[in-house]
Amino acid sequence: MIRYGIVGCGHIAKKHVEAIQATVDAELIAICDRDNNRLSRWLADGVRGYTDVETMLQESPVDVVCICTPSGTHAALTIQVAQAGRHVIVEKPMALSLADADRMIDVCREQGVNLAVVHPNRFRPAMEVLKKRVNEGAFGTFSHANATVRWNRDQAYFDQDPWRGTKEMDGGVLMNQAIHNLDLLIWMMGEVEEVSSYQATRLRDIEVEDVMVSVLRFRSGALGVIEAAVTLYPKNLEETLSLFGETGTAVVGGPTANWIQSWQFADLSQEEATETIQQITKNPYGKPGHQCLIEDMTTAIKMGRPPMITGEDGRRVLALVNACQQAAATGQPVRLDESIGGIKR
């Protein structure tokens, strides 16, 4: 059995608990949170509770630690866990700065432990078939792509926890809400070369932006548009990823990007396209993405291989977010160099 621990008992911890419980050869044996009330909700037979990470690492024989704390704490906790010789699964974003991300990657490499970043939307059935079409070259030459997140996060959402909406711990709409969609964008389209952006804090009383629009040029020459907002009234409207090429058009959307809305390729008949759409519609969610990540880490440890979504993957999308934010703050385009998405002016 691969033994798991969880740090942070907020909203996202439930998905990790369920994923570990559903995974063969995985066992939850420890949970840590400074708040005893939150901690007590997750304690069960065989699961020991801790109020500080150091004690958990000293006393519990966990093999993997899932970090489910506010974004601004991810780097320090990942480094602490890795230095104790444990593998790490860290929630998105892996960090708020590239310097922190680099340190996390370096320490995990030095300690010989795996670092996986939680980008579970790659395992959505629609995204898996979309990635297959990209790999097959079904789009021909890409012309452009759009990543759109039009959601609602009202003031009560930001007020429920003091870290939400702060520069130090939250990071803004791209960092906290849209980053999964952006991960999918560059997973499909490849590296970004240059970005220009506008950002604003229009409706929420927070330190960071609640709406941002960016224009991209990919290293391939294709163009892209990002639109992300938490200002939609009265509820979430859509999360959409759209890819356009010389021989293919695909749009995956809905309130969350789980449903194929357009599926047109030169090498597919209308009947074949309709069949794919119907197959996805029957089961748009598939196996929970967090379960896929836990299963993958469990197998990776047993086989001595890296996880499917690595620290470098997490860094790549973080670099894009940082570049968008820098471009908006300076009013100037920002170029990304070729060292895994590092930013340069």
pLDDT tens digits for range 20-51? 999 999 999 999 999 999 999 889 889 999 99
pLDDT at 137 over 50: yes
Q: Count the alpha carbons within 13 Å of 52 in the hemisphere toward its beta carbon.
A: 3
CA distance 22 to 8: 20
In the chain, which segments carry CATH 3.30.360.10?
A: 122-286+318-336
> Average pLDDT in the 129-147 region?
98
Give the model's confidence band at 193: pLDDT under 50 very low, under 70 low, under 90 confident, else very high.
Answer: very high
> pLDDT at position 278, please?
97
Residue 304, token pair as written in the block: 């001595």
pLDDT tens digits for range 272-283? 999 999 999 999
> pLDDT at position 45, please?
87
Q: Which fold would CATH assign to domain 2-120+290-307?
A: Rossmann fold (3.40.50)
In the chain, which segments carry CATH 3.40.50.720?
A: 2-120+290-307
Q: Are 266 and 247 spatial neighbours (Cβ–Cβ below 8 Å)?
A: yes
Second-level CATH architecture of 122-286+318-336? 2-Layer Sandwich (3.30)
> pLDDT at position 44, please?
87
> pLDDT at position 345, please?
42
- Is the CA virtual torsion 133, 139, 142, 145 positive or negative? negative
pLDDT tens digits for range 296-329? 999 999 999 999 999 999 999 999 999 999 999 9
> pLDDT at position 25, please?
97
pLDDT at 341 over 70: no
> Average pLDDT in the 172-188 region?
97
